[in-house]
Homo-oligomer: A and B are copies of this chain.
């Protein structure tokens, strides 16, 4: 297995060191918490985070118009409550903090503990939990995947507009059940901290419904041409998304070139057209990756005027476009 970076230790610290050296907008506090250099002086602050290995998520979205802080765990590992608390305390300006958490047991538990600790220090905190991965049948168990980035942008827009913590939480919770994602992979991610692949897969197989840590999906299939792959994903998505006007994200899993994502987008567009769906807005690129996994995910959200404005409003994050 060939990798530029095979570090079993220091992967996270080295990555954050590189990120802070090269990005003038952010700085690192408490070792693994990325915050904006220009702290927001008023308005609700947004904190997200989780395990690393999903770059540019989450640290790349710490910027005006999106997050105020990202708490970075080790690769595929939840950050600890003390780090999350550090983030909350660093960004709070008295107007409250919204935690945007992907639905993984460790993340949910640790963000919840941090919320309790912050509340004991009289900081107003609310939490929203993203569960957009419809590959898992039980809705309570659904994982948070690429749709989380749409939540970052939407909440970031609402915070910039000056809405209160309660208002933002309510609006995000209205949106959350409408965001649906499903992924697929040809290869497993190589986890540098273990030196192991995330799963085993044969040369002629693909995993449909894979998670962003290489979790098992809906089914293991023989590799098909990309138009058939997107048809499979779209069929599953449209069982849960009923709108005729969609916002569509084609998310790369880390080692899928932009050319391939655009080719996939072409087939997604044609397929939806045949199904009489229109696409109000596209997001194509690496938003929520799984290290160097080859594959992609699709996220569908029913279009709304407010969400379109939120997604196209400016942000200083170089990774959201």
Q: A residues bordering B, Cβ < 8 Å?
A: 2-5, 7, 11, 14-19, 21-23, 52-53, 55-56, 60, 186-187, 203, 223, 226, 229, 250, 254-267, 269, 279, 282, 284-286, 289, 291-292, 294-296, 318-319, 321
Contact = CB atoms under 8 A, between A and B. Distances in A.
Contacts of A255: 255, 257, 292, 294
B263 A15 contact: yes
Contacts of A256: 4, 292
Contact of A263 (B14, B296, B319): B14
Counting every copy of the chain, the complex holds 2
Nearest to A320: B318
A258 B263 CA distance: 21
B4 A282 contact: no
Contacts of A3: 186, 260, 294
28 contacts: A2-B203, A2-B223, A4-B186, A4-B229, A4-B256, A4-B260, A4-B264, A5-B264, A16-B262, A18-B263, A18-B264, A18-B265, A18-B266, A18-B267, A19-B262, A21-B269, A21-B279, A22-B262, A22-B282, A52-B259, A53-B259, A55-B258, A60-B258, A255-B257, A255-B294, A256-B292, A318-B321, A319-B321
- Give me the 4 closest cross-chain CB pairs, A-B, nearest first: A318-B321, A18-B262, A18-B266, A22-B282
A318 to B, nearest CB: 3
A33 to B, nearest CB: 16
Given A3-B260, A260-B292, 10 more contacts: A2-B294, A14-B263, A14-B266, A15-B262, A18-B264, A18-B266, A21-B282, A55-B257, A55-B258, A257-B292
A253 to B, nearest CB: 10
A273 to B, nearest CB: 10
A4 B265 contact: no
A114 B295 CA distance: 39
Nearest to A291: B257
Nearest to A204: B2
A107 B250 CA distance: 32
Contacts of A296: 4
Nearest to A248: B22
A68 to B, nearest CB: 20
A200 to B, nearest CB: 13
